[in-house]
Every structure is written in C-alpha cells, then in structure tokens.
Structure 1
Amino acid sequence: MGEINVVPFIDVMLVLLVIFMITAPMLTQGVQVDLPQVSSEPIEDIENQEPIIATVDKEGRFYLSIGGEDQDPISLEQIADRVIILLERRPGTQVLVKGHREVGYGAVVSLMSTLQTAGVSNVGLISEPPPEER
C-alpha cells in the first residue's frame, strides 16, 4: 500500500488554525502611533471640523488647543474635563497629540491615558516628515 494517510495532518492544521484565530486579535492590541520624523500619509479631515490638539512641550507641560488657538499650560485633570465637554458638544471630533521630540515617553502616555478616560476612543499622533521630504 503506497498511500499516505493525511487525515491526522488535516486535524493538526485545523487545531492550529483555531489557535491562531483566537490569539491573533490579542497580539494586535495597543495604540497605533506615528513617531516623530517619519514618512506617513496625512489624516483626512473628518467633516471639516477643527481637531482637538493636546500638546506636551519639552518641559512636560500640557496644553489643549481647539481651532489653532494657543492656550496656557493646564493640568491633566483640566484637559480631561475640557475634552469631555467638547466631545459632548461635537461628538466624533478628532483628538490629536503633539509631543516634543525630547519629552519623556511617560508624559505622552499619561496624556493619552487621560484622553482615554475622558472618552476618546481613537487618538492620533502628529509627526513631521523627515528633512529630505519637506
């Protein structure tokens, strides 16, 4: 008899397929980020609304601007309160984060965590193109 029984191989492959289907979504959790000075496509403007921009400067101070107006430094609690109010008025508004290149990673993460607790489900990061693409 010169045939190979492939049924056990099919069983193993189906078990592996089920395992990968269950574990693959767990591996892709997290926030998709754009690092400073990278090549990336610009985010399309959603409904021509001005985005909410949360900023961390070099010293780790936080700012919140709506429509391009600069403001004084504010605390994370104030950012959360203002973002909640703005999203109640204009649901679906984009929220973007600008972090100085030399600021600590923890400051940006704490800002993003504050935005998440304020009800922002999707945060975008602002980056600059590399010098050769400008």
Structure 2
Amino acid sequence: MPSMTPRGGSRRRGISEINMVPFIDVMLVLLIIFMVSAPMITPSVIDVPTVGKGQNRPERVVEVLVGTDESLRVRVDGREGERATLKDLASRVQAVQEGSDEVPVIISADKKVRYEAVVRVMDTLQRAGVKRVGLAVRSTG
C-alpha cells in the first residue's frame, strides 16, 4: 500500500519565525504607562553637607599627612612634620597633644591615596583614644 504523503515525498514544515506583534503591543503599552506616570514622580532632593567656616582657628592643630606612597607625616601648626609609621602614629600624636583632648587632629591625604589607607589612619587614632579626629577638605570655588 502506498504511503499518504504528497507528491515528491516532502512533509509539511512549521513556520519558525517569531511573531513580533504581541511583543510590540506590550512595549507600546509599557511606553504609555511610563509616559503618563513620569510627570507624577517628584524628584527627591539630597542635601549634601558643605564645608563650614570656623569662626576661630584652634590654638594648636595636629595634621597627619598621608602621602601617595601611604607614608605618614605628623605636622604641628603648619611646621614641617616628621615621618611616622602606622604603629607609632598614635603615640606621636598623643605626645604632640600633650594630654589635651581639645587639640584637633586633621587627616590630610592626596586624592590618589586609597581610601582604605585614610580609614586605617583614622581607625588607629580613634582606637588610641584621640577624640577630635577630622578630615581635611579643600573648598572649590
């Protein structure tokens, strides 16, 4: 008995194309939803802290300078400072403070220094009991 296939022996194949019409419909609906809802969203305002200007400069300021090679220098009242290591940094700063907790310590670093190095210096000072530790900032403009 002969087979029931059409002449030539080929069978019917399905269409293997993706139907794009439903995809386009969904995208148009989403576009309309976003266009309608966008004006209703209020933009949030972020208050970024600014650098305040001190009314009077403290009598004595200890500055820890972090170099690009992560070397440390301790400078007092703007005079050229002496080199220090992270281990002896806290004892040097406390010696310069002469037992007074009111003497501020300012950490100043180059912008190329890794943030981790600055945090290590700050952490070392705070663990040693130095109370007034801050970061130096440069105002632009």
* TM-score interval (norm. to shorter): 0.5 to 0.7
Identical columns (%):
25
What CA distance in whole angstroms lies between the structure 1 residues aligned with 2:54 and 2:134? Answer: 9
Q: Aligned match of 1:55 in 62, 65, 69?
A: 65
Using CA pairs under 8 Å that are at least 6 residues apart, name the structure with larger relative contact order, 1 or 2: 1
Q: 1:27: which partner in 2?
A: none
What CA distance in whole angstroms lies between the structure 1 residues aligned with 2:128 and 2:87? Answer: 9
Q: How does 1:14-33 map to 2 (within 5 A)?
A: none
Q: 2:51: which partner in 1?
A: 40
Q: 2:41: which partner in 1?
A: none
Following TM superposition, the consecutive aligned residue runs of length 4 or more in structure 1 with deviations greater than 4 angstroms are none
Gap regions ≥5 residues in structure 2? 1-48
Question: What's the RMSD between the two structures over aligned residues?
Answer: 2.3
What CA distance in whole angstroms lies between the structure 2 residues aligned with 1:45 and 1:91? Answer: 18
Post-superposition offset of 1:39: 4.7
In the alignment of these two chains, the number of paired residues is 94
What CA distance in whole angstroms lies between the structure 2 residues aligned with 1:102 and 1:43? Answer: 27
What CA distance in whole angstroms lies between the structure 1 residues aligned with 2:95 and 2:70? Answer: 24
Gap regions ≥5 residues in structure 1? 1-37
What CA distance in whole angstroms lies between the structure 1 residues aligned with 2:88 and 2:139? Answer: 31
Q: Aligned match of 2:107 in 74, 97, 105?
A: 97
Q: 1:119: which partner in 2?
A: 129
What CA distance in whole angstroms lies between the structure 2 residues aligned with 1:57 and 1:111? Answer: 12
What CA distance in whole angstroms lies between the structure 2 residues aligned with 1:65 and 1:56? Answer: 11
**Contact 2:101–2:130 at 8 Å: present in 1 too?**
no
